[in-house]
Amino acid sequence: MIDLRSDTFTRPTPAMRRAMAEAEVGDDVWGEDPTIKRLEAAVAERLGHEAALYVPSGTMGNQICLRLAAPPGTECLANEDNHILWYEAAAAPVLSGVQLHPVPGPRGMLEPAAARARVRAARYGVPTSAIAVEQTHNRAGGAVQPLEVLEGLRALADEAGLHLHCDGARIWNASVATGISLERYGGLFDSLSVCFSKALGAPVGSAVAGSRDLVARAREVRHLYGGAMRQAGVLAAAALVALEQMVDRLAEDHANAGGLAATVAAAVPGSVDPAAVQTNMVLLDAGAFGTDGPGLVERLAGLGVLAADTDPDRVRLVFSYEVSADDAERAAKAVVAAAG
């Protein structure tokens, strides 16, 4: 089976397992885990921020940031397809009293003009306190949010006094795809949540980055949410290997995704737009295969490819280091066969 359900399915590399076995550890609640400290320093440096904090998951990273970004009874603007709206169990309203305000936009984009039109003051209802973006954008098939859009949102945030947060679970993919440095992206945001356990292949973990003050407050919220861990350096060690060894190679995943999309688009009209494939994901339109999302997933499974129906009529394929170029070619043939 070629598993293209998600890049979250990746297992740790041999180098990660070795680093985990050999990690120097201490009690991180006491601030005494040297491996976690190294990871946090490395993340902060790469993203051009003062500090960073290791957290158990991307969801917790986002939710810690949203709590700090937006006081209860205020709202955070986000593209209607953002992960925080679809997959985080209503955590922002439940845990932080924050209303998420979904804004339509193409390819996961929150266009500055559309965002500006939704910024409200208390006298009109719910005051806006924050803006959240997602880089790359999951439900938009790994779409890269353009730099000028992010800069436009930064200008809006400065002008209107809003907090700008980035769900950067796959920000590494954006940087590799565009050549824009992590530091340049990072500098645009007041807070980021980044993940080591998606395309980078670490088994567990994410980090929040921001100013020293934001990260100190994030540490308190992490404790409140039950995310303060003890000798978690065994996990952070794998994340360090992910950062050091697994970022540049993402270009291979992007090439594999692009190659599959080109093959499938040529053979199955209307199934996929190859120009929309910018990073490690491909979205297939199940209708072009004469079926629906679950139907296409079932056919693909019968042909040796595991995929996920992310919508009733849409199937997502995700590439990672566990999918070789050969696997990608075999998967492309299976997808074409699924049309016949």
Binding footprint of ligand TLP on the chain (CB under 6 A): 6, 8, 57-59, 83, 87, 134, 138, 167, 169, 195, 197, 206
Distance separating alpha carbons of residues 55 and 272, to the nearest angstrom: 36
Q: What b/e readout covers 143-152, taking b as 16+ CB neighbours within 10 angstroms? A: bbbeeebbeb
The residue among 199 and 237 lying less far from ligand TLP, judged by its C-beta, is 199
**Residue 31 backbone zone (phi > 0: left; psi -120 to 50: alpha; other: beta):** left
How near is the Cβ of 84 to ligand TLP at its closest, in Å? Answer: 8
How near is the Cβ of 135 to ligand TLP at its closest, in Å? Answer: 8
Q: In this structure, is the dihedral angle defined by the CA atoms of residues 325, 169, 126 and 148, taken in order, positive or negative?
A: negative
The residue among 207 and 261 lying less far from ligand TLP, judged by its C-beta, is 207
Distance from chain centroid for Cα 87: 12
The residue among 195 and 242 lying less far from ligand TLP, judged by its C-beta, is 195
Distance separating alpha carbons of residues 290 and 34, to the nearest angstrom: 55
How near is the Cβ of 69 to ligand TLP at its closest, in Å? Answer: 15
The residue among 227 and 268 lying less far from ligand TLP, judged by its C-beta, is 227
Distance from chain centroid for Cα 26: 29
The residue among 56 and 336 lying less far from ligand TLP, judged by its C-beta, is 56
How near is the Cβ of 6 to ligand TLP at its closest, in Å? Answer: 3
β-pairing verdict for 191-195 and 206-210: antiparallel
How near is the Cβ of 66 to ligand TLP at its closest, in Å? Answer: 12
Residue nearest to ligand TLP according to CB distances in the complex: 58
Q: Tokens 């929309």 identify what position? A: 276
How near is the Cβ of 193 to ligand TLP at its closest, in Å? Answer: 7
How near is the Cβ of 123 to ligand TLP at its closest, in Å? Answer: 34
What one-character DSSP code corresponds to residue 5? S
Q: What is the DSSP string of 8-60?
A: GGPPPPHHHHHHHHH-----GGGT--HHHHHHHHHHHHHHT-SEEEEES-HHH
Q: How is residue 258 written in tokens?
A: 């692009």
Q: How is residue 312 written in tokens?
A: 């009733």
The residue among 84 and 336 lying less far from ligand TLP, judged by its C-beta, is 84
Distance separating alpha carbons of residues 64 and 190, to the nearest angstrom: 13
Q: How is residue 197 written in tokens?
A: 């356990």
The residue among 57 and 245 lying less far from ligand TLP, judged by its C-beta, is 57
